A and B are shown apart, each in its own frame.
Chain A
Amino acid sequence: MAEQERVLDVDNVRVTFDTPDGEVRAVRGVSMHVNPGESVAVVGESGSGKSQVMMAAMGLLASNGRVEGSVRYRGQELVGLPLKALNDIRGVKVTMIFQEPMTSLDPLFTIEDQLSEPLRVHGGLSKREASARVLELLELVQIPNAKARMSAYPHELSGGQRQRVMIAMALANDPDLLIADEPTTALDVTIQAEILQLLADLQARLGMSILFITHDLGIVEAFADRVYVMNKGLVEEEGPTERVFHAPQTEYTRMLLAAEPEGHKAPVGPDAPVLLRGENVQVTFGRPKGFLRPDTQLHAVRGINLTLRKGQTIGVVGESGSGKSTLGRALLQMLPSTGRVVYLDNDIEGLDRAAMRPYRKGLQMVFQDPYGSLSPRLTTGEIIAEGLQVHEPGLSRKERQRRVAEAMSDVGLDPSMRNRFPHEFSGGQRQRVAIARAVILRPQVIVLDEPTSALDRSVQKQVIELLRRLQVEHELSYVFISHDLAVVRALSDYLMVMKNGEVVEEGPVDAVFDHPTTDYTRTLMRAAFDLTSLLRPAARTGT
């Protein structure tokens, strides 16, 4: 296709950030293009520079960022374009939707206000005309009860609805190209499937091009005609999606494709000793109606029974808000709950901090966020040793050092790194630190709350293998909480599916995955494992 007909043409773009630690070259000479009506995906792991190419193209780099090279929209150069001229293109011809539907909309303005702005600024619409068009747009993106929703504020909408509002905003001025930067990463799988379906449907009806930036190969396969694979600021491989997925030509693409979690865990025998048992566990937040005070009660966990045996891994899945994390915390008595929790024949329900302390050694937890859950002011050695100081205060300094070194090599970290601070580690390494902090106490049970969700697939795979090895070596039992069904399937032998604080289905992992009995579980699985058939029903019947 001739070059001037391309919607977007990126030519040898380089992006550099000036940081206190020197220059960081985030993008090192990238060329790509988008043809009219095409779906193109840019895929890569975090730090690959995949978002920064488009940020640079749209003049949205952070203030310490610089761009060189050329980005042309329909032949018009965007790099170095004065702000006024650029503002005639962005939000009109080229629009964007972002990863965080929670924060991408201004919390202080109504949906109508925000959707009207680009219409009035670019299209010169009157207030009334804009209002009519906003309603039309909200109906287009299938917001239920659109008319009433116009006066809502972003926080009154769910994550999926907010992303629909963002899409409506992107479509407002009939764009040529829609750039979607990880638009579904923060959403549940079922919502993700709905949003992707909506985008595919809108593209078929309106004919714009879509450039999809993502780390999720499942989405790429289901959505894109063509794909660019990025790694370390360069394009590693490009080509039609079919070809790249079935005949990858570079080592890196092969590694990405192979990084889907795999493996299988054999169930434990029925005579394995019971370590942790929860009976009718309930957690309620908020307060009942009081004097001049409305009822704010939220029943997060409603009467759950759970039996964890030695060596077992119970996977707990569910969408956000289903109460799965709350259940994990309630089991470890980290928040007030009712019911009964028995650990090694001791009733630990409702114990206060001091009474709970002796049991904490055996009941450990690893959290989702490897950035937020490690103190930035302690060295990793200090972080890992902290629990020992509480639970085994008699240890000599030397012995403690030895145990830290042992725990670090246990999780695949070089013990010589013990004097480094958390910010010097990558996300995957930090999660290893968090795991070392738990295993150093030689616990029996570890509650893993989304431990792999913030990690790239290739790193995730390593962490899964680590957890599996530690389980065998130390005879650990896990409660594995995750929204990621592929990871849960690889690690667990028993599965609980939660919705609205209740367990809707449970059983041995294979039984539930192969023969789900509830619609809810079936929907979850289809959204997680079968995006392609959802988005390309025609392609599927064709093959």
Chain B
Amino acid sequence: MLAYALRRLLGAIPTIFIIVTAAFFMMRIAPGGPFDQERALEPTVMANLNEAFGLDRPLWEQYAMYLGNLLRGDMGPSFIYRDMRVHEILGQGLPVSMQLGMTALLLAFVIGTALGSIAALRQNTRADYGVIAVATFGITVPNFVVAPVLSLVFAVILSWLPAQGWGRWDQMILPVIALALPQVAVIARLIRGSMIEALRSDHVRTARAYGLPARMVVIKHALRAAVLPAISYLGPAAAALLTGSIVIEQVFNIPGIGRFFVNGALARDYTLVMGTVVIVAVFVVVFNLIVDLLYALLDPRVRYD
């Protein structure tokens, strides 16, 4: 297993390299630059700025420099947040985004599994149709609609919860719910399907034939088999949560990496956007590996070596 993990991590290096390269050049193809403003700068000021940030050099040289710095853990200076290095900015935002995303993921997994199981056990009843309706709603309504509506109802009208900010537990509730909802929907649907299949499987029939109590049959034998597909979905889900949090962080004014990503992209802050891309790519690769290893722990049939 260790050899496998090591091999996967080594295999991730070219992946991340390709992502970095593609992002770097795509960023430069986009028109405009970090110092373009509505009122054009003096040509000499512009030239000085470009020289200070190395933008006057050939593109391939800039690329090589960026890669070199990246290897040393330096993501370069931000173009718009003056006097800040990119890794300092992300170092502040990443823990916040991670906390938001992981809480939402955990919540989505627990609630999605519960809803999906209930639907499967009560197949073709009102409970089942209720879960399917919630799931369809969660998947179809985008979070830039859900988040403001939640904020409006629970913060503005009812005044139960704060509308924005970060740091206290009650400030987490609305953004976590808004972020988790689509994932709850997907996981509930996945679990419903796999649970129905598990309940019909031969080994569950064996458990029944041996007179095990219904609760034991369902929880120990059916549910454990049914969560496996949902586990493999956690990798893509984590990626969806990170990108989903860009909108949520804006709506609830949360100091995560999402808003740096948006601001950086709009202002052509090359290094900031690149930094975000690298962080997200590394995160997705590592998280997928963790999920695969977790899967192997839960399913003894899966062995990587």
Contact = CB atoms under 8 A, between A and B. Distances in A.
A86 interface: yes
A105 interface: yes
Contacts of A89: 211
A118 B211 CA distance: 7
B221 A88 contact: no
Interface in A76-91: 83, 86-91
A105 B206 contact: yes
A74 interface: no
B209 interface: yes
Given A98-B202, A103-B203, A294-B305, A92 B211 contact: yes
B224 interface: yes
Given A153-B301, A291-B7, A91 B203 contact: no
B59 to A, nearest CB: 35
Nearest to A88: B211
A117 B3 CA distance: 35
Contacts of B211: 86-92, 118, 121-122
A536 B49 CA distance: 98
A90 B209 contact: yes
Interface in B262-305: 298-301, 305
A169 interface: yes
Given A104-B203, A107-B300, A155-B301, A96 B7 contact: no
Interface in A109-156: 117-118, 121-122, 153, 155
Interface in B209-231: 209-214, 216, 221, 224-225
Given A86-B211, A153-B300, A108 B224 contact: yes
B113 to A, nearest CB: 16
A536 to B, nearest CB: 29
Contacts of B145: none
A292 B203 CA distance: 36
Contacts of B210: 90-91, 95, 117-118, 169
B201 interface: yes
Contacts of A103: 201-203
A347 interface: no
Interface residues of A, number: 34
A117 B219 CA distance: 14
B305 A95 contact: no
A117 B300 contact: no
Interface string B225-262: 10000000000000000000000000000000000000
Nearest to B298: A108
Interface residues of B, number: 28
A108 B299 contact: yes
A414 interface: no
B212 A105 contact: no
B52 interface: no
Interface in B98-151: none
A60 interface: yes
Contacts of B225: 106-108
Contacts of A86: 211
Contacts of B45: none
Contacts of A122: 211
A244 interface: no
The residue in A88, A100, A106, A294 that gathers the most chain B C-beta atoms within 10 A of its C-beta is A106
Contact of A106 (B3, B207, B305): B207
A298 to B, nearest CB: 15
Nearest to A117: B212
A121 B216 CA distance: 10
A92 to B, nearest CB: 6
B26 interface: no
Contacts, number: 84
Contacts of B200: 62
Majority secondary structure, A binding face: loop
B1 to A, nearest CB: 11
B202 A100 contact: yes
A61 to B, nearest CB: 10
Nearest to B124: A63
A121 B7 contact: no
A511 to B, nearest CB: 42
B76 to A, nearest CB: 34
B6 interface: yes
B208 interface: yes
Interface in A376-415: none
Contacts of B28: none
B205 to A, nearest CB: 6
A88 B210 CA distance: 9
A453 to B, nearest CB: 20
Nearest to B203: A106
B149 to A, nearest CB: 39
Contacts of A153: 300-301
Contact of B6 (A83, A88, A169, A292): A292
B3 A292 contact: yes
A293 interface: yes
A42 to B, nearest CB: 17
A421 to B, nearest CB: 24
A98 B7 contact: no
A224 interface: no
A92 B213 CA distance: 13
Contacts of B201: 103
A293 B7 contact: yes
The residue in B3, B205, B225, B299 that gathers the most chain A C-beta atoms within 10 A of its C-beta is B205
B212 A91 contact: yes
B205 A60 contact: yes
B213 A121 contact: yes
Interface in B1-37: 3-4, 6-7, 10
B95 to A, nearest CB: 33
Contacts of A166: 206
Contact of A83 (B214, B299, B300): B214
Contacts of A291: 7
A292 B7 contact: yes
A118 B212 contact: yes
Interface of A: 58-60, 62, 83, 86-92, 95-96, 98, 100, 103-108, 117-118, 121-122, 153, 155, 166, 169, 291-294
Given A90-B211, A294-B305, 13 more contacts: A88-B211, A91-B210, A98-B209, A104-B203, A106-B207, A108-B224, A117-B207, A117-B210, A117-B212, A117-B216, A121-B212, A169-B206, A292-B6
9 contacts: A89-B211, A96-B206, A100-B202, A107-B301, A117-B216, A121-B212, A155-B301, A292-B6, A293-B7
Top 7 A-B pairs, shortest CB-CB distance = A91-B210, A91-B211, A87-B211, A103-B202, A106-B203, A153-B300, A292-B7
